[in-house]
Structure 1
Amino acid sequence: MMKKAISFALCLLMAGTVLTACSNPDEFSDSENLSLKYTRSDKTDDTFNYADGADTAPSSYDTYSAKITDFELRLFRNRHKSGSYVFCPANAVLNLETVANGASGDTQEEITNALCSGVTLENMNQCASYFASRIQSVASSDKSPESSQSSENDTEKNGAKNFVKLSNSVISNDNADIMTGFLQTTKDYYDTDVLRFDYASDDALKKLDKKYADFTNSGSVFKNLDAKQSVISLSAADICDRWLNPYAQTDLEKGKFKSADGEKEVTYMTSNETYMKSNKATAVMKYFSQTPLKMMIVMPNEGVSLDDYATDFTSLEYTTLLDSVDVTKTAKAKIPEFSVDGSKSAEDVTQIVEKSGINSSFTADRSSYKNLSRSDDIAFSAMYDIAPSLSINAGGIGGMQSNGDKAELEKRIQKLADTDVTVEFNRPFMFVILDNESDIPLYMGTYTG
């Protein structure tokens, strides 16, 4: 009997050793990443997840798109600073929508009204799911229900990388009791990871570094976290694609760009592009090959500074440019190759969001999150973002990855069309990378040289 007991104990010990060896100490466990235990619903008439087969937008999508675009432009105006930068307002919106499902009472009403007044919470979730899953899934060939909304299985078509990656997390400090309904909703509509760990834990921060390594070039997301904070959000994004209409080597030429620090030499890319204009600016639209995105490049008129234009860039100006498109008319566009470095760590964007209409939701004694946790101490403390990197060149668009900077063609088979208008982007401009169906901005930024 004693031998059997000893043998049984040894077997249990060995099993425990094997299980410990199989778990990865550098990754979050089930008790830390609470979303791992949940599976996204495959009912596309409810989730409207494009990767799962939904191909029709939810009701109120047009209203949702207009409202969300207006909020993102507010974020841009409040985010704007002199110099070159890029940020992803769509991620801020997705995180606010996620947190709205954990909010209650006046707090939930404040968030939903600021984002898309007149659209129900359920419809907002469906529209957000459709938008985010579509822009990430179109470039991927893996459309199975098991595939992640974040398109981790990016495909390479014709040897080129094509993807949009959005990574969002809601992070709770230590042992807060997170509601199961909130966890299921975030999985169904947002594919947001809900993490729970001690903010003072160095090991947990190292795991977070590994989780976001593709967006930080393996840097540190946080040097430390404020232990007084309760719940925070974290977002990151990356894009890689080629141009729908590729450049030839003969389309490239050196020229001068009037930067804030004087003239500098740049490489200009010449092509025929969709032409747009308003009373304040001239713009062109370029399209990407595999991702369902397009890029609007906007240059204020002579005498209008980029700072003045950007801080007054409203929905009216945005729609004026979009509505000015004449499909029968193109411009010869001379666009400089350029790049903007992102942040290698998380930046606090809470004040930008507060200035954009979310006033009391970050104040513990003025907010309520009863749909997030049973704890009375729970509060949404801050929003953090890892600003993306961006490179625009003859090879296409890239961020942390790229398809290289070489034109696809040695020489143009069909010459560029003669046009009445030539637009040379030879002074500071702004840009918007937007969804080609809803016109919701994904990235926004400025380039000053």
Structure 2
Amino acid sequence: MVGLRWAGAAIAGSVLLLGLVGCAVSESWADGSKRPDASSPESGSSVEPPDSVAQTPNAPLPAVDPEVVAAQTRFGFSLFSQVVQQSDGDNLMISPSSVALALAMLYNGANGETQEAMANALSLRGLSVESLNQANQSLMTVLENADPKVKLAIANSLWARRNFPFEDAFLQANQAFYEAEVSTLDFSDRQSVETINDWVSRNTEGKIPTIIDQINPDDVMFIINAIYFNGTWQRVFDARQTSNQPFYLADGSQKSHPMMRQDGGYLYLENNQFQAVQLPYGNGRLSMVIVLPQQSLGLDTFLSILTPDNWQTWQEQFSFRAGAIQLPRFKSEFSVNLNTALQAMGMDVAFDPSAADFSGLSAEPTYVSRVQHKTLIDVNERGTEAAAVTSIGVTTTSMPMNPFQMTCDRPFFYAIQDNETGSILFMGTVVNPET
């Protein structure tokens, strides 16, 4: 079930994998047309087992390749593990789907060892580029229609340096399968930074206003994925039941914080390692999975056993059960450079200017200079709002030369040399050409 595999999980105030549910409709198309927005979220009034929730899509949806879902799940857990290792104990949140889609677009330009390294990092296990593209296209279609009461929006874009030679097949594949907007900009103009950031802000409902601070002289492309999620709980929390309660920090101290409370029936799992509950949004297709490690275990130890196989096993063990949950209201923002994480996952060749092979992107030598990721989440009594952006900076190893204008209208130096030996035959200055 896609909603179970791709759900987010809040763990003791940290958020895990919410981005896996956060992708769907591209609101801006390459041809300038618009898709209709999902209907505004509405709350349900009763709690029933998820199997009893009617799913009535307007039209048959394409089949989703389970291998692609499994690959993105494996990639997501591996990436999250790497980010955890780099963290300093603060709240974390990544969107594996956002990163995976951005990398999938880049994957269309990779060849040779670089393509193989990316396939291993993305856990594709022999899946061809064509199959990956078609599967991602189907998956996005399915997710955009997952629940009319939940807004899921995805947008992809390619921002290319003007006059730099890119392969038509690379651009066309990303337009056809990822509905990516392709734009060329004058990267020497500061306005280009604002143009890209305006697109990011627009496609995250203003939640993430910027993703890049500057464009370097040798940057030739930015590949960007933006995701926006806004879901109302199937049964909203009653704000009158929210009260300040102690929240215990990892160091043993405590703080008073607003805690929401709700009673009802939920998909629930408890063992000697943790308690877990699924809180559905809208019609129940999408849920937030909340995992609370047992006090004797702790979050760090739980994260050490958080693997794709264990996650799948746990999903199959949930059962419907009555109970009560208290959940803190929380809002957090997170930003991380993913270069180190992706290199540790085997993609180091893509970041090596002397070894990267993106000949499918351009005949000019290019490499990945930076992968920047930003996320935001706001969880309250009504529901959840979240956004994520992934930006991949593609840089040339030989900086393109812009046309120049040279006007020798002031004193200058000159030399006449033997280019074979380097011997200078004459040298001099001109301070007044008329004397």
**Equivalent residue, structure 2, for 1:427:** none
C-alpha separation in 2, matches of 1:251 and 1:279: 29
Matched, 1:323 2:311: no
**Equivalent residue, structure 1, for 2:185:** 197
C-alpha separation in 1, matches of 2:277 and 2:116: 38
C-alpha separation in 2, matches of 1:37 and 1:340: 36
Mark the CA change 1:314 to 1:55 in structure 2 (over 3 Å): closer, same or farther: same
SS at match of 1:85: coil
2:116 aligned partner, one-letter code = E
Matched, 1:179 2:153: no
Mark the CA change 1:367 to 1:278 in structure 2 (over 3 Å): closer, same or farther: farther
C-alpha separation in 2, matches of 1:288 and 1:218: 23
Any conservation in 1 of the 2:114–2:357 contact (CA below 8 Å)?
A: yes
C-alpha separation in 2, matches of 1:109 and 1:231: 22
Displacement of 1:305 after TM fit?
Answer: 2.6
C-alpha separation in 2, matches of 1:277 and 1:63: 29
**Equivalent residue, structure 2, for 1:262:** 254
Matched, 1:129 2:137: yes
Matched, 1:396 2:380: no
Any conservation in 2 of the 1:242–1:289 contact (CA below 8 Å)?
A: yes
Any conservation in 2 of the 1:347–1:386 contact (CA below 8 Å)?
A: yes
Structure 1 length-normalised TM: 0.66
**Equivalent residue, structure 1, for 2:227:** 237
Mark the CA change 1:309 to 1:198 in structure 2 (over 3 Å): closer, same or farther: farther
2:291 aligned partner, one-letter code = V
Q: How does 1:132-171 map to 2 (within 5 A)?
A: 132-139=140-147, 162-171=150-159
Displacement of 1:172 after TM fit?
Answer: 3.6
Most deviating of 76-85 and 162-171: 162-171
C-alpha separation in 1, matches of 2:236 and 2:189: 48
**Equivalent residue, structure 2, for 1:403:** none
Any conservation in 1 of the 2:274–2:291 contact (CA below 8 Å)?
A: yes
Any conservation in 1 of the 2:167–2:362 contact (CA below 8 Å)?
A: yes
Displacement of 1:52 after TM fit?
Answer: 11
Matched, 1:334 2:325: yes
Mark the CA change 1:386 to 1:95 in structure 2 (over 3 Å): closer, same or farther: same
Matched, 1:295 2:288: yes
**Equivalent residue, structure 2, for 1:274:** 267
Any conservation in 1 of the 2:120–2:346 contact (CA below 8 Å)?
A: no
Q: How does 1:39-54 map to 2 (within 5 A)?
A: none
**Equivalent residue, structure 2, for 1:91:** 98
1:90-117 CA deviation, whole Å, 9 max, x = no partner?
Answer: 1100011111111112222221233211
State the structure with more CA Rg. Answer: 2
C-alpha separation in 2, matches of 1:177 and 1:53: 41
C-alpha separation in 2, matches of 1:179 and 1:69: 31
Displacement of 1:190 after TM fit?
Answer: 1.3
Out of 307, 317, 324, which is 1:314 matched to? 307
C-alpha separation in 1, matches of 2:155 and 2:134: 18
Displacement of 1:289 after TM fit?
Answer: 0.2
1:154-199 CA deviation, whole Å, 9 max, x = no partner?
Answer: xxx6xxxx31122333334443212222122112211223344344
SS at match of 1:295: strand
Structure 2 length-normalised TM: 0.68
Out of 342, 362, 382, which is 2:351 matched to? 362
C-alpha separation in 2, matches of 1:369 and 1:379: 7
Any conservation in 2 of the 1:230–1:379 contact (CA below 8 Å)?
A: no
C-alpha separation in 2, matches of 1:233 and 1:384: 11
SS at match of 2:333: coil
2:114 aligned partner, one-letter code = T
Displacement of 1:291 after TM fit?
Answer: 8.1
Mark the CA change 1:174 to 1:382 in structure 2 (over 3 Å): closer, same or farther: farther
2:70 aligned partner, one-letter code = A
Mark the CA change 1:118 to 1:240 in structure 2 (over 3 Å): closer, same or farther: same
Any conservation in 2 of the 1:256–1:265 contact (CA below 8 Å)?
A: yes
CA RMSD of aligned residues (A): 3.1
2:377 aligned partner, one-letter code = L
Any conservation in 2 of the 1:284–1:333 contact (CA below 8 Å)?
A: no
Count of residue pairs the alignment pairs up: 330
**Equivalent residue, structure 2, for 1:418:** none
1:138-166 CA deviation, whole Å, 9 max, x = no partner?
Answer: 445xxxxxxxxxxxxxxxx6xxxx31122
1:236 aligned partner, one-letter code = A
Most deviating of 187-196 and 68-77: 187-196
C-alpha separation in 2, matches of 1:342 and 1:175: 36
1:58-92 CA deviation, whole Å, 9 max, x = no partner?
Answer: 4xx12221122011100111112212232211110
C-alpha separation in 1, matches of 2:128 and 2:324: 42
Out of 109, 116, 119, which is 1:109 matched to? 116
1:193 aligned partner, one-letter code = E
**Equivalent residue, structure 1, for 2:198:** 210
